[in-house]
Chain A
């Protein structure tokens, strides 16, 4: 256990559904991240939050909507997804802005049907 938890661990949703992924870190960090991991591709950074402020949006489609109510919690709201959005979604946290080590949660395996 790294101190970063994610729920749900598995999610199957239709293209018209709305769902949310949740991440919580118990490490006292103040930066949190969403990554997407697809087969045969490098980890792709999606969003970065520092002290609850979004500091990076890596050209992510608007069907993905992040929310960071405080430094310990991060959400990813999903709506009208496409089958190509099926992937492992990983949350990570670190001290400050990321020049320090990032610790990953277990991930949510998302399948869009």
Chain B
């Protein structure tokens, strides 16, 4: 059973701080990794994708991937109250042929306090 593990939180940080969200995955064959943000009552919104080891930065967000440790993280710099949401980590792996599917974690609830 392929799994993606996340700390459910809540993770609470003060406004302006760095929020660090972590994720581990079980399938060594996973090739693509995604972070989604989901506000309460809304659908998941893609924030970042990462495919190779190292860091990928996009504005205040940095995704980090370490395939040897099967570990993905998301850093949010200068956290804002509007960043308060559940963050979903997902890994993508082949399900046969050219077909891929995503396995999602349960999500980490982030609260940014003004």
Is B101 within 8 A of A45, CB to CB? yes
The stretch of A13-21, A76-84, A95-103 in contact with B is A95-103
- Which B38-53 residues have C-beta < 8 A from chain A? 42-46, 49
| Contact residue among B4, B43, B96, B103 (Cβ-Cβ distance under 8 Å from A105) | B43
Interface residues in chain A, defined as those with a beta carbon under 8 Å from any beta carbon in chain B: 2, 40-43, 45, 48, 50, 55-56, 88, 90, 96-107
Apart from A98-B92, A104-B44, list 11 A-B contacts with CB within 8 A. A41-B106, A43-B102, A43-B104, A45-B102, A48-B95, A50-B99, A90-B44, A99-B31, A100-B49, A102-B34, A103-B46
Q: Which residues of B contact A (CB under 8 A)?
A: 4, 31-32, 34, 36, 42-46, 49, 88, 90, 92, 95-107
